[in-house]
A and B are shown apart, each in its own frame.
Chain A
Amino acid sequence: MAKVNRKFIDEVGSRFNASACMSCGACTAICPMETGMLPRMLFRFTMLGQDGKIRENEDTIFSCLLCRMCEVNCPAEVPIAENVRLLRGYFDVHVFDLAR
């Protein structure tokens, strides 16, 4: 079972906002990257505090085009591209040490 890290969501930042996501999968179905992971699953992992799963998906997170094709089709108006950008910010600070 994946370990839950309650601090993780704070480290991603308060602007991360996927609470309206109803996990319909419309975003994943239309995503040109066709990874099956972008973006819905990443939001689940984040909200569940599974930082290990997020770290495993570093390449997926950085390969998002931020093209917003998914957002146009999201029935819950989740700010998907901004959320992905914030996940990158987590890596920049906590993995790549780029914040200084």
Chain B
Amino acid sequence: MSLPKKHVLGILADNLKLRKSVLPLSRRALTRWARGLDIPYGGETVLYTGHMYQLIPKIGAMANRMAKFEDSWIRRWMGLGRVINRGINLTRFMAHAKRKERRAYDRVLRNIALLLREAGVEFGYLYGDEMYSGALLHDQGIDAVLLPHARRLQALFAEHGVRRVITVDPHTTNMLRSVFPEMLDGFDVEVRNYLEVLADYDLPVKNPLEMGLTIHDSCVYARYEDVIDQPRQLLARLGARLQEPELSGKMTHCCGGPIESLFPGKAHEIALKRVEQLSATGCAVAVMCPICMVNLKGAANGDGPGFFDIADVLAGAVLDDPSPVRQTTDERKER
């Protein structure tokens, strides 16, 4: 059984209309990752997070809560929940992200900014003025609500003279690069993902990776945006021994994430299947999407070889900080 679509989708659509995001977070929560990095405000080239990494710890907590509702009597009260949510942002109180999780996802964003800087790329950031891309509503076909939001985002770029955008996740990349140019007249911002940008540079190798790594390709990168070779090139240049799982590249297997908000049970089954394929290689897994990360990690439940965001892996080899990947895999070996 699914959660009541009319009400769940209604709440998400109302939030985007009224609060500019499907799950609104405070300005502080959205920009905390950039604290102390002195990234200039705005500019012709901006790093655009699209809020995905900041939202994921909250989405993960919400998904756990919603999975409990799937077969419970609470389903029947979701219509009332939607009415109340129009006046008071109920989604704010429904579930709270764990601090450790928030920090881990913030660290990924920091690492992306530091890697770009290390490569010599100049960029700004729109801080609290940045907006969610609307990817979730697009997936659900709610174009009537998405369109005015897309126009707001176009106006934001125009107001700030943004001409080039560096994205950090597959879903925002797809929205800005493929969906909005089809949906909006005159949306002509150049959009590249940070992996594509970094692949153009020879990053200095401070701590060669010298480890086996399995790549989990995101469906959206691999089959919508053709981002397949760049992550492999980057990891191989830094010394990783790449292992391909049973399904990879153009034939990658989904993590289950896209149906998490309506069918948490089925999403979990798909994630388990993928975890099995990835674990069979016996190597740590590099993941490129926060949605994949939360689903795969949740399904693995602490078992298996460990899941790491590719930005953390790259940062471990290129930046002076020790790699969280190397530390954790060493710890696992010692156990």
Contacts and interface: CB of A to CB of B under 8 A. Distances in A.
A6 B140 CA distance: 24
Interface in A41-100: 58-59, 62-69, 71-72, 85-93, 95-100
A88 B141 contact: yes
A69 B254 contact: yes
Contact of B2 (A63, A69, A72): A63
A62 B2 contact: yes
A32 interface: yes
A96 B219 contact: no
B144 A93 contact: yes
Given A62-B262, A85-B141, A98-B142, A68 B251 contact: no
B283 to A, nearest CB: 23
Nearest to B262: A62
A63 B250 CA distance: 21
B262 A65 contact: no
A26 to B, nearest CB: 13
A61 B141 CA distance: 11
Nearest to A61: B141
A65 B256 contact: yes
A59 to B, nearest CB: 6
Contacts of B139: 66, 85
A72 B249 CA distance: 11
Interface string B1-35: 01001100110010000000000000000000000
15 contacts: A32-B273, A33-B270, A62-B259, A66-B258, A67-B258, A68-B224, A69-B223, A85-B139, A89-B143, A92-B9, A92-B140, A92-B141, A96-B6, A98-B142, A98-B144
Interface in B110-153: 138-145
A89 B142 contact: yes
B223 A32 contact: no
A98 B145 contact: yes
A63 B2 CA distance: 9
Contacts of B138: 85
A86 B258 CA distance: 16
